[in-house]
Amino acid sequence: MLFNSFLFIFFFLPVTLVVYYRLADSGFRSSAIAWLVICSLFFYGWWNPPYLLLIICSILVNFTIGRGLQRIAAGAAKKLLLTVGIAFNLSLLGYFKYANFFIDQLNVIFTTGVKLEPIMLPLAISFFTFQQIAYLVDVYRSDVQKYRFLHYCLFVTFFPQLIAGPIVQHHEMFPQFARLTQSNERLKQLSFGMVLFLIGLSKKVLFADSLALYASPIFDGAERMVALSFWEGWSGALAYSLQLYFDFSGYSDMALGLAKMMNINLPINFNSPYKATSIIDFWRRWHITLSRFLRDYLYIPLGGNRVARPRYYTNLFLTMLLGGIWHGAGWTFVIWGALHGFCLIINHLWRSGCKALLGPDRKSTPIGIFCGRVLTLLCVIIGWVFFRAESVEGAWYLLGVMLGTNGFGVPQDLADQLVYLQQLVHTFGIIGSESGLRIDLWSGMQLIFLLGLVALFFPNSNQLIEDNGKWFTFSRYLLSKPLLTGIAGSSLFFYVFINLSREAEFLYFNF
């Protein structure tokens, strides 16, 4: 079941909210929480009912191990139990997500013919696995109080964030569950939640899915080694970069909005990453809760930045490499993670060098900030080519096209649109190449340009909702001008509604 489906919007969500509010208002707090757990399990099971047993089993085992860790005094036995818990979670993730890839690599190395039936990846297994590993580690560190089993179930299964994050931590959620049904600001939270959800739905349906119409044919063509032009190569890479941006941004907005409707605040997971001035800054803005998990439960335990420089950079590289593998079983994800690890090392070396040469109090200049943003975007776009490509060969082919290996000729259909440039391109002899695809490249480039401006310069959803005085904010008008807000919101929803027929999964559902 997708957030952008008729079933979710017109049946599942209204029924969930109405019953939840009735139970909460009647004083049945535990029943209201239990209802959310039931709805969340129904939401998960709708995709593949047999895998409902998997997540229930995972919850039972992890909760039992967590209780055991709370009862055992520090020592070898406690460490052994934690090891068992982590091994259990990683074994589930390893089997369902990486078994086929591992067998394929063994067959290549040893020229064997071992066959394994294709394994369907359980929805959200990467997310709820990491979330529960973090919980067990925190229990081991004695950072967790005893919580009710019902609260733990909601912590793992809460449907707004179950499928693609954010990856929440116990201290962010359990205190909210204790006051979950209090409704002092329900109208305000519901209004803000609906606005956030509508913004996210618009990003997904109107922006991300429209960009997919241009990105997908070009990446598919690269896999088939179709004769792509320089312009098509860059259009495909840029279209996918923006598609993923608005897809993940849209999901993040919808998740936060849905949670707000139930008086729950989820951590912000997306903060205008294409405005980043460095790769370090990018990872403080993109998938923020994954970066936090990798930092707290992998990078710091490896020694973080408290070790000698060579090991420090090794830890950084390994963390990003494993972050890439977390996203998917394939060499493209390994290369993507390694690329970001390498870029982070270069970024840290650059900062250390500038600090040594210019002093710790140096300030960035406007030209420095501009160059930083351009270089960061370039590195990120190159990384996304590997992230999206189905094979390493397809990624290298598309990158080669972007570097001009197929020449710089303007496709004839694009040249026909650029009447005012035809004489110029004729002069330089770069017109008239035959494209291997049949897409409306000119329309795609216009869409990329317009949505690129939105991603690079417009305020994000969090800035719009928060009444900080810097932007035209919704928060002032939600309560002061409800009629105006209602008309605007209804108009936008109607436009989104007529485009819902192109129902498409969120990209991060695959991870």
The whole-angstrom separation of Cα 333 and Cα 322 is 9
pLDDT at residue 73, rounded to an integer = 86
Q: How far apart are CA 215 and CA 234, in angstroms?
A: 10
Burial profile 244-254: b = 16 or more Cβ within 10 angstroms, e = fewer: bbbbbbbbbbb
Q: Residue 408 has what pLDDT?
A: 78
Are 471 and 459 in contact, with CB atoms under 8 Å apart? yes
pTM: 0.92
pLDDT band at 427 (very low <50, low <70, confident <90, very high): low
- Mean pLDDT, residues 58-87 taken together: 95
Task: Give which of 442, 503, 372 is closest to 229, Cα–Cα.
Answer: 442
Q: Are 230 and 406 in contact (CB under 8 A)?
A: yes
In the predicted model, what is the mean pLDDT of residues 153-174?
93
Task: Evaluate whether 392 touches 332 at the Cβ level (below 8 Å).
Answer: yes
User: How are beta strands 431-433 and 410-411 bridged, if at all?
Assistant: parallel
Cα 66–chain centre separation: 28
Other CB atoms within a 10 A radius of the CB of residue 100 amount to 16
Q: 471: how many CB neighbours lie within 10 A of its CB?
A: 14
Task: Say whether pLDDT at 421 is over 60.
Answer: no
Where residue 336 falls among pLDDT bands split at 50, 70, 90? very high
Q: Is the pLDDT of residue 505 over 80?
A: no
* 327 belongs to the catalytic site: yes
Of the candidates 442, 412, 406, 436, which has an alpha carbon nearest to the alpha carbon of residue 425?
412
Phi, psi of 167 (to 5 degrees): -80, 105
pLDDT bin (cut points 50, 70, 90) of residue 480 is: low
Minimal CA–CA distance to 160: which of 294, 263, 298?
Answer: 263
pLDDT higher than 90, residue 39: yes
Whether 83 has a pLDDT exceeding 90, the answer reads yes
Q: Alpha-carbon distance 431 to 65, whole Å?
A: 66
Out of 170, 327, 340, 348, pick the active-site residue: 327
Across the chain, how many H-helices and E-strands are there? 25, 2
- pLDDT tens track for 431-465: 545 556 667 888 899 999 999 999 999 988 888 87
pLDDT in tens, 352-402: 888 888 877 777 888 999 999 999 999 999 999 999 999 999 999 999 999
Smallest CA-to-CA distance from 114 within 102, 130, 123, 132 is with: 102
What HEC string does 202-223 produce? HHHHHHHHHHHHHHHHHHHHHH
Q: Where are the domains of the chain?
A: 6-182, 191-277+364-414+454-510
Which is more confident, 131 or 480?
131
Beta strands in 22-127 (DSSP E): none
Q: What is the pLDDT of residues 85-125, one digit of tens each?
A: 999 999 999 999 999 999 989 898 888 888 888 888 898 89
Using a pLDDT cut of 70, give the percent of the chain over it: 88
Query: 273 with 290: CB under 8 angstroms?
Result: no
140 and 82 Cβ atoms separated by less than 8 Å: yes
Mean predicted lDDT score pLDDT of the chain: 88
